[in-house]
């Protein structure tokens, strides 16, 4: 029986992996799996060797402070993979964890095929990493077509599979009438998936909601959480007694609520693509500690944090980062957009045009499943 070890490092990778493996399970039911995964892989019956939260760190200082723990987790993961002896190691995103593990595994057992999904963003920083990947990655799966040039240059086999967040494949009929009040407009809020992000951004976002409530009672606010951090968000909101705010974590409900939103405030990250794909205007926020910010600023080679802005090399979606990531600035930006529908329309049109240029014509999960199958039978 063929075996695959699935290696993720955070919630977004867990979700991507689960979508691809679900397709693979439908076509090839006789495969044995083990993983480092979370809620999404667990929901399709795949066991994880430890809780994903144990390795989710953000920022250079957090990584340094937890270096001993991270090294132990890397070594333990390598040991478990070698013991499991898979035909394929399917690593997804989180390259500073997953690709470190993959490299060690390949050195110990070169027969294990390494397929990595979500190429490291070498077009943003540390481009020289590509040369190293050549030594242990058998196939790189790309979210964006423009990434091909970096891996073609080093003759690393790669495939543009597209970004799942750009696929309109949710045809489910979810009834959210109980969540939508006819006299209220919805604003969706995305505070992030990591606890460190939640702890930093949630107080700022709650103060923003309070400022909005002082100005108007026309809005209801939905905080989009993961299953892992739902309780943290709920506990925090309960303390604040915000009657027009609610936490949601079920994926299909989140998608429907977003599609009915008049605006979104989102932590910088891939969620921005989903927001754009739903034709919802938005702003991006992010804040890390000052030392992490200085280190990151010295390493990145792009002007913007958001992928839409990076591709266009101009600010289409406003970015409120660091000092600008505060309740007052968020409030002012959101109110300005809400008062100027033409600006919201222009942003939606610009995003739509950009997405059309980077979308794949096929399903990412189907593409990934097909490539995994190819390596299993080769």
Burial of residue 284, with CB atoms counted within 10 A of its CB: 0-12 exposed, 13-18 middle, 19 or more buried: buried
> Is residue 238 predicted with pLDDT exceeding 60?
yes
Question: pTM for the whole thing?
Answer: 0.80
- DSSP at 48: B
pLDDT > 70? residue 59: no
Give the pLDDT of residue 153: 93
CATH fold match for the domains 2-162+360-377 and 185-358: yes
At residue 170, does pLDDT exceed 70? no
**Structural domain boundaries of the chain?**
2-162+360-377, 185-358
Task: Give the closest residue to 223 by CA, choosing from 244, 239, 241.
Answer: 244
Question: What are the tens digits of pLDDT across the range 196-230?
Answer: 889 999 999 999 999 999 999 999 999 999 988 99
* Confidence (pLDDT) at 122: 79
Pairing of strands 2-8, 245-248: unpaired
Cα separation, 191 vs 189, in Å, equals: 6
CATH T-level topology, domain 185-358: Rossmann fold (3.40.50)
Split at pLDDT 50, 70, 90, the class of 182 is confident
Q: Rounded CA gap, 323 and 204, in Å?
A: 12
Is CATH 3.20.20.10 correct for 2-162+360-377? no
- CB within 8 Å of 253: residues ≥ 6 apart: 174, 176, 179
Predicted confidence (pLDDT) per residue in 252-281, tens digit: 899 999 999 999 999 998 899 999 999 999
Quick one: pLDDT at residue 79? 98
Alpha-helical (H) ranges within 109-190 are 129-133, 148-152
Separation between Cα atoms, residue 338 and residue 139, nearest integer Å: 45
Report percent pLDDT > 70 for the chain.
Answer: 91
Cα Rg of the chain (Å, integer): 21
What mean pLDDT is reported for the chain?
A: 90
pLDDT band at 58 (very low <50, low <70, confident <90, very high): very low
**Is residue 49 predicted with pLDDT exceeding 70?**
yes
Within 10 Å of residue 36's Cβ, how many Cβ atoms? 31
Q: Which of 48-57, 129-138, 240-249, 366-375 has the lowest mean pLDDT?
A: 48-57
Mode of pairing for the β-strands spanning 31-36 and 2-8: parallel
């Amino acid at each position: 029986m063929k075996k695959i070890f699935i290696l993720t490092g955070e919630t977004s990778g867990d979700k991507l992996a689960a979508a691809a493996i679900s397709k693979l399970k439908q076509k090839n039911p006789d495969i044995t799996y083990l993983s480092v995964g979370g809620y999404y892989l667990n929901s399709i019956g795949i066991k994880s060797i430890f809780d994903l939260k144990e390795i989710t760190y953000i920022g250079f200082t957090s990584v340094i402070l937890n270096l001993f723990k991270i090294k132990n987790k890397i070594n333990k993961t390598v040991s478990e993979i070698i013991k499991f002896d898979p035909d394929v190691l399917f690593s997804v995103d989180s390259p500073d964890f997953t690709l470190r593990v993959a490299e060690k595994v390949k050195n110990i057992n070169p027969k294990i095929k390494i397929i990595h999904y979500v190429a490291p963003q070498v077009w943003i920083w540390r481009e020289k990493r590509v040369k190293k990947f050549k030594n242990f990655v058998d196939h790189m799966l790309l979210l964006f077509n423009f990434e091909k040039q970096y891996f073609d240059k080093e003759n690393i086999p790669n495939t543009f599979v597209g970004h799942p967040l750009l696929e309109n494949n949710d045809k489910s009929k979810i009834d959210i009438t109980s969540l939508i009040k006819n006299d209220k407009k919805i604003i969706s809020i995305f505070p992030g998936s990591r606890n460190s992000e939640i702890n930093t951004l949630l107080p700022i976002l709650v103060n923003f909601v309070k400022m909005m409530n002082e100005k108007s009672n026309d809005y209801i606010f939905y905080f989009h959480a993961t299953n892992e951090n739902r309780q943290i968000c709920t506990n925090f909101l309960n303390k604040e007694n915000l009657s027009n705010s609610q936490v949601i974590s079920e994926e299909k409900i989140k998608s429907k609520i977003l599609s009915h939103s008049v605006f979104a405030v989102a932590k910088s990250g891939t969620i921005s693509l989903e927001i754009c794909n739903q034709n919802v205007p938005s702003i991006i926020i992010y804040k890390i500690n000052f030392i992490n910010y200085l280190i990151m600023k010295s390493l990145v080679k792009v002007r913007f944090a958001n992928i839409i802005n990076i591709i266009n090399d101009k600010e289409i979606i406003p970015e409120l980062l660091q000092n600008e990531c505060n309740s007052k600035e968020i409030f002012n930006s959101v109110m300005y957009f809400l008062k100027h529908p033409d600006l919201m329309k222009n942003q939606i049109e610009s995003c739509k045009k950009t997405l059309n240029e980077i979308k794949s014509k096929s399903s990412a999960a189907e593409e990934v499943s097909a490539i995994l199958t190819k390596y299993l039978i080769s």
